[in-house]
Structure 1
Amino acid sequence: MMKFATWNVNSIRQRQDHVLNYLAREQPDVLALQEIKCQTEVFPVDVFKTAGYDSIVVGQKSYNGVAILTRHAHDITHTALPGWEIDPAQARYVEIRSCGLVFGNLYLPNGNSGGSAGYDSKLAFMDALALHAHGMLQAGQDFVLLGDYNVCPTDEDCAPGALSPDDALVRPQSRAAFRRLLWLGLTDALRALHPVGRFYTFWDYQAAAWQRDSGLRIDHALLSPRVAERLLTALPARDERGKPQPSDHVPMVVTLADATG
């Protein structure tokens, strides 16, 4: 069995011990992190190496930043999303090949800041992601695209009243861009196993959102067709949000059966 997870940690320096505890307890094969909020050279590579994980990091001072932690041999395939050239300084994508799969870790722009240009940047990222996914499908590559998509795909993925109708996370164009990925042939891991029901991965720090369970499902794992055939489980690790000084996101965790043939 293979286990992987995606987790927006909202600062690795503040949540390092949370991540270490999660790794020790759950022992995922791959953990994709977003919003590490540090430059590449100050990411705690040695700390995670001691815990048994190699770190592949694309950092940025104070903002954004993505990293992949893996227990297995790997090759780095991309340190930026191919085709997204809006702002190359933004650290929003890293990709490796490991265990016969490509793991793409993404932190998609929120789209609520920067006016219309900020929202256009979000849609441009999603366009580039769809084109990259299409290319991998055409090449017969097995892959997973996981991370903080900053999109609630349906109304059921957003607690009633949590967002205004014009929020970038729920606008029709955002949802259409997410559906485009599914129409390519990708599988939303959680919804494949849990077609209905409210499963959240994010609760704001404000307005007692956690206590009221006013959450969002914005962290996703999309699987290419042969990977989807191996899908066993997919659920958020909800308990992480109730721990002291948590991230506002929790890990989205997926397990796969071992490959055959």
Structure 2
Amino acid sequence: MRVATWNVNSVKQRIPRLLPWLDQRRPDVVCLQETKLSDEAFHEALGADLADRGYETAHVGQGQWNGVALLSRVGLDDVRAGFDAVPGYPESAAPPEARAVSALCGGVRIFSLYVPNGRVPDSDHYHYKLEWLARLRDSVGNASGDDAAANTMLCGDMNIAPADADVFDPAAYEGHTHVTAPERDALAALEDLGLRDVVRERWPDDRVFSYWDYRAGMFHKDLGMRIDLILAGHPIADRVAAAWIDRQARKGSKPSDHAPVIVDLDDAPDGDVGPVVPPPSNPAKRGATKVVLPQSTE
């Protein structure tokens, strides 16, 4: 079973990229984030094309913001929007944003997650992010049976780089979100449930990124971050035959600023192809020159 996750950064804009990619990579389950459509608009824009390719779909949207989806050719059972006690914003009791959807696909509880960005450390958005992650951990940790952590895959844009090795230069991110200790602790708390970061586990010492800012030539210099993750319960992680970033999907005309993450269970149709496909041609060396993040100049 091939499972993929991709923050498409507006699925309507990405249709000319998404449909050929589905035909090329043929994933069995796809987790999408930042669809930026209502449920009705998503199905109107993509429903027929996805059905023609054999996909059942579940979408949780809120118009021009957020939005997550699951596409599956191996079953889509017990679909759930959000998770237990998911908090809202700006108050915890507010209606939840469209950031999580899960279902049983091929017998595995698979989540498509779009974790809040956090914006600025110690801001209201930042504390919301930490609360959201804590509630997610409690929900997964308290589940049992088919929903237990051991039978779960958390897939999506986590908006956290797990370690300094997951950013092009740790010094460039000082004072920014995505790398702070509380965020990384919240991610580690999910892993403490028995969930394994299958890409990093397979490629422990390699340069592996999934996101590159559109600005300042960050993609061409390979000045990126690894914030799109697949965390899998032990029995599922033991089935991993390949785990990689499809960098090809970030190249070319009108791409998302994220690349898909692909994990093959039991069998690897493309072989164990490497951590990033294709690898960057001329990446900037870490620490060779001082790089200021584009957002730092805003």
Alignment of 1:106-145 (within 5 A): 106-112=113-119, 116-136=123-143, 140=148, 142-145=151-154
Judge conservation of contact 1:31–1:70 (CA < 8 Å) in 2.
Answer: yes
CA distance in 2, matches of 1:243, 1:117: 37
Query: Structure 2: where are the runs of 5+ without partners?
Result: 90-94, 268-298
Mapped partners of 1:15, 1:92: distance in 2: 19
SS in 2 for 1:134: helix
CA contact (8 A) 2:164 2:170 kept: no
Contact 2:198 2:237 in 1 (8 A): yes
Partners of 1:137 and 1:224 within 8 A in 2: no
Are residues 227 and 244 of structure 1, via their aligned partners in 2, closer, same or farther at CA, if it must alter by over 3 Å?
A: same
Secondary structure of the residue that 1:207 maps to in structure 2?
helix
**Match of residue 240 from structure 1:** 249
**What is the TM-score when the length of structure 2 is the normalising length?**
0.82
Name the counterpart of 1:32: 31
Residue 162 of structure 1 and its aligned partner are, at CA, apart by 8.0
* Cross-structure match for 2:211: 202
Matched with 2:263 is: 254
CA apart distance, 1:77: 3.4
Q: Please give the secondary structure, in 2, of the residue aligned with 1:222.
A: strand
Q: When the two structures are aligned, how many residues end up with a matched partner?
A: 257
Aligned to 2:272: none
User: Does the 8 Å contact 2:120/2:176 carry over to 1?
Assistant: no
The 3-state SS of whatever aligns with 2:215 is coil
Per-residue deviation, 1:211: 1.2
User: Partner residue of 2:169?
Assistant: 160
CA RMSD of aligned residues (A): 1.8
Structure 1 CA distance for aligned equivalents of residues 171 and 47 of structure 2: 36
Instruction: Answer with 109-118 or 135-144: which moved more.
Output: 135-144
**Distance between the aligned counterparts of 1:181 and 1:59, measured in 2?**
25
Aligned residue for 1:59?
Answer: 61
Q: CA deviation at 1:182?
A: 1.5
- Aligned pairs for 1:170-181 (under 5 A) are 170-181=179-190
> Residue deviations 1:209-231, cap 9 Å, x none?
01111000000000011111111
Task: Give the Cα separation in 2 of the matches to 1:211 and 1:98.
Answer: 36
Q: In 2, distance between residues paired with 1:21 and 1:42?
A: 20
Q: Equivalences for 1:39-78 in 2 at 5 Å?
A: 39-43=38-42, 44-78=46-80
- The one-letter code sitting in structure 1 at the alignment partner of 2:79 is T
CA distance in structure 2 between the partners assigned to 1:158 and 1:76 by the alignment:
36
Paired letter, 2:123:
S
Deviation of 1:29 after TM superposition, in Å, equals 0.6
The TM-score normalised by the length of structure 1 is 0.93
Structure 1 pair 218/224, CA: closer, same or farther in 2 (3 Å)? same
Q: For 1:168-198, what per-residue CA distance to the aligned partner results, in whole angstroms no more than 9, with x for missing partners? A: 1001100111111112211001111111121
**Preserved CA contact (<8 Å) 2:87 2:135:** no
Contact conserved, 1:200 with 1:216, CA < 8 A, in 2? yes
In structure 2, the partner of 1:6 is 5
Per the TM alignment, residue 137 of structure 1 is displaced from its structure 2 partner at its CA by 5.7
Whole-angstrom distance in 2 between the partners of 1:94 and 1:239: 27
Assess if the C-alpha contact under 8 Å between 2:62 and 2:97 holds in 1: yes
**Residue 277 (structure 2) aligns with:** none
1:124 is paired with a residue of what secondary structure? Answer: helix
- In 1: Cα distance, 2:193 partner to 2:119 partner: 27
> Is the alpha carbon distance of 1:20 and 1:101 closer, same or farther for their aligned partners in structure 2, counting shifts above 3 Å?
same
Q: Which secondary structure state, in structure 2, belongs to the residue aligned with residue 16 of structure 1? A: helix
Shift of 1:136: 3.1
Check conservation: 1:20, 1:51, Cα contact below 8 A: no
Flag the structure with larger Rg: 2
TM-superposed CA distance for 1:247, in Å, is 0.3
Residue 15 (structure 2) aligns with: 16
Q: 1:145/1:166 Cα in 2 relative to 1: closer, same or farther (>3 Å)?
A: same
The Cα offsets for residues 16-55 of structure 1, whole Å up to 9 and x where unpaired, read as: 1211111111111100000001111000212211222111
What CA distance in whole angstroms lies between the structure 2 residues aligned with 1:101 and 1:38?
A: 26
Contact 2:56–2:76 under 8 Å retained in 1: no
- Compute the displacement of 1:125 (Å): 1.1
Whether the 8 Å contact between 1:162 and 1:215 is mirrored in structure 2 is no
Identity %: 35
How far apart in 2 are the matches of 1:173 and 1:89?
A: 22
